[in-house]
């Protein structure tokens, strides 16, 4: 029987919590993906003029990758305070930071106005975006995971994951609309700023909804237990969440990092690099490429909850492995379909790729949440996810663009994604199934383990 503190909330309350997490993550990912699309379409000309077009794109993607470098720092900071102070406070802060940075990019003068200072300021704002997103993901998925029950945790926790395709859909949709109604000159001159400035309105909506939800009951109970232990034993000093994670869950952190490799790399190749490849190598127009990503992102949004629900029935690992194996097998057909230049083939290539990606992304929220005890869960899940992004998502468009420049062919890029898939298959293959884990029982086990470790350290055992 669940205790009152950990009993699942009523359906209406849980749906409000899911909506708050989903809307917040959608806005955060909108801001983040908007930068990626703009980096592929206009930033090379506005902030890195005078370069060869492909070199300018490489430099533009380099500033894009910088945002990923800040994500582990955000994971450490937000994870630490999220495990100490609660999930809700940190989620509000992450939304404000991300929205403010994105709005500022919309006001940023270009290289033609202030010279070299323009790309420097762009990079600084990208760092703020990455820092905020590094703390956003863990808090959003935990807020839902810790409110729900184990029986349907995969389904409910997958909804914040749909914020990624929803943000992609929103960002790509706005850009697609603007490129359709504006001339290339107007879009390059001022039109590109509109999607960034819209972020200010979206953040206000997100804050209003996010402030209306309650803190995680599992976190409240774990915090109360920690305070009770400290009161009973005045000499007890609670370890920093990072220290506790590295001591008790280092293996789970490595598994999470390995699990992220194929998921992260494939996503940015499919959604960001495609805007370069399709327009430069396949002769597809910018509008056509954007429309294909737009349609595929809608399908991606729809299938993620379905994959999450399936993970509740058959387990997190089997569903994740379907995605990892599938994305590796799909890479060569993916590029072959794009090379035809046909719009239908382009849609098919991206849609199948994102459906397979969803099989990894959907169970990820519950899978990672179920690996860690409550008072180190924000830190553990965030560190595992965001440290992997530095080696995976950050350089993916950059590496893919460099491989295209060096070889002029998609084969090395396909092999790059396949290698990532193999790494993920190994990581998930050695992981334990977490589908039936009770988050409150994990906290009890963690306390016993920590007491045993402290006794051993004292030389008693």
Q: What angle do CA 123, 127, 132 make, to 5 degrees?
A: 150
**pLDDT the model gives residue 168:** 80
**pLDDT the model gives residue 447:** 46
* pLDDT tens-digit readout, 298-354: 999 999 999 999 999 999 999 999 999 999 999 999 999 999 989 999 999 999 999
**pLDDT the model gives residue 453:** 43
**pLDDT the model gives residue 34:** 82
**pLDDT the model gives residue 41:** 73
Instruction: Report the C-alpha gap between 223 and 206 in whole angstroms.
Output: 27
Least confident of 8-12, 65-69, 70-74, 377-381: 8-12
**pLDDT the model gives residue 456:** 44
**pLDDT the model gives residue 52:** 57
Instruction: Report the C-alpha gap between 452 and 460 in whole angstroms.
Output: 10
**pLDDT class of 364 with cuts at 50, 70, 90:** very high
Tokens of 449: 């383990």
Sign, Cα dihedral of 165, 166, 171, 176 = positive
Is the pLDDT reported for residue 258 higher than 90? yes
Instruction: Report the C-alpha gap between 8 and 359 in whole angstroms.
Output: 26
pTM of the model: 0.81
The rounded mean pLDDT for the chain is 83
**pLDDT the model gives residue 455:** 43
Instruction: Report the C-alpha gap between 35 and 30 in whole angstroms.
Output: 9
Instruction: Report the C-alpha gap between 209 and 243 in whole angstroms.
Output: 33
Instruction: Report the C-alpha gap between 253 and 81 in whole angstroms.
Output: 19
**pLDDT class of 267 with cuts at 50, 70, 90:** very high
**pLDDT the model gives residue 363:** 95
Least confident of 14-18, 267-271, 306-310, 420-424: 14-18
Give the mean pLDDT of 194-208.
85
Q: Which long-range contacts (CB under 8 A, 24 or more apart) does 418-423 make?
A: 418/328, 418/331, 420/261, 420/262, 420/265, 420/266, 420/392, 421/262, 421/266, 421/324, 421/325, 421/327, 421/328, 422/328, 423/258, 423/261, 423/262
Give the mean pLDDT of 27-51.
75
Percent over 70 (pLDDT), the chain? 86
**pLDDT the model gives residue 229:** 64
**pLDDT the model gives residue 458:** 43
- Averaging pLDDT over each range in 41-45, 146-150, 269-273, which range is the top one? 269-273
Q: CA nearest 160: which of 103, 100, 87?
A: 87
């Amino acid at each position: 029987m669940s205790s009152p503190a950990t009993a699942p909330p009523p359906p209406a309350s849980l749906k409000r919590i899911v909506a708050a997490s989903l809307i917040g993550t959608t806005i955060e990912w909108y801001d983040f993906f908007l930068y990626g699309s703009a980096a592929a379409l206009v930033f090379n000309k506005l902030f890195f003029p005078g370069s060869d077009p492909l070199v300018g794109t490489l430099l533009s993607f380099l500033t894009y990758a910088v945002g990923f470098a800040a994500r582990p720092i955000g994971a450490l900071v937000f994870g630490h305070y999220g495990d100490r102070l609660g999930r809700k406070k940190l989620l509000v802060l992450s939304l404000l930071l991300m929205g403010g940075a994105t709005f500022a990019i919309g006001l940023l003068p270009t290289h033609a106005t202030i010279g070299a200072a323009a790309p420097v300021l762009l990079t600084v704002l990208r760092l703020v975006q990455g820092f905020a997103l590094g703390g956003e993901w863990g808090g959003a998925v935990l807020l839902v995971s810790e409110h729900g029950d184990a029986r349907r945790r995969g389904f409910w926790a997958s909804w914040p994951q749909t914020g990624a395709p929803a943000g992609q859909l929103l960002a790509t949709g706005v850009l697609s609309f603007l490129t359709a109604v504006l001339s290339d000159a107007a879009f390059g001159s001022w039109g590109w700023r509109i999607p960034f400035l819209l972020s200010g309105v979206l953040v206000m909506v997100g804050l209003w909804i996010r402030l209306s939800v309650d803190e995680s009951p599992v976190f409240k109970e774990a915090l109360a237990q920690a305070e009770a232990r400290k009161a009973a034993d005045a000499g007890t000093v609670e370890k920093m969440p990072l220290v506790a994670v590295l001591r008790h869950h280092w293996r789970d952190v490595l598994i999470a990092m390995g699990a992220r490799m194929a998921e992260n790399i494939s996503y940015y190749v499919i959604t960001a690099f495609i805007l370069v490849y399709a327009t430069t190598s396949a002769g597809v127009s910018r509008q056509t490429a954007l429309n294909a990503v737009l349609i595929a992102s809608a399908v991606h949004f729809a299938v993620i909850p379905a994959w999450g629900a399936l993970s509740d029935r058959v387990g997190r690992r089997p569903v994740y492995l379907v995605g990892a194996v599938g994305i590796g097998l799909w890479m060569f057909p993916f590029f072959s379909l794009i090379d035809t230049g046909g719009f239908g083939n382009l849609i098919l290539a991206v849609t199948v790729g994102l459906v397979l990606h969803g099989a990894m992304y959907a169970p990820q929220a519950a899978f990672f949440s179920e690996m860690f005890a409550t008072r180190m869960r924000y830190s553990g899940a965030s560190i595992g996810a965001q440290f992997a992004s530095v080696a995976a998502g950050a350089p993916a468009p950059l590496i893919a663009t460099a491989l295209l420049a060096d070889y002029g062919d998609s084969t090395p890029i396909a092999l790059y994604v396949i290698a990532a898939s193999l790494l993920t298959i190994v990581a998930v293959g050695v992981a334990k199934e977490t589908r039936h884990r009770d988050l409150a029982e994990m906290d009890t086990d963690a306390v016993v383990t920590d007491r045993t470790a402290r006794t051993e350290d004292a030389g008693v055992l």
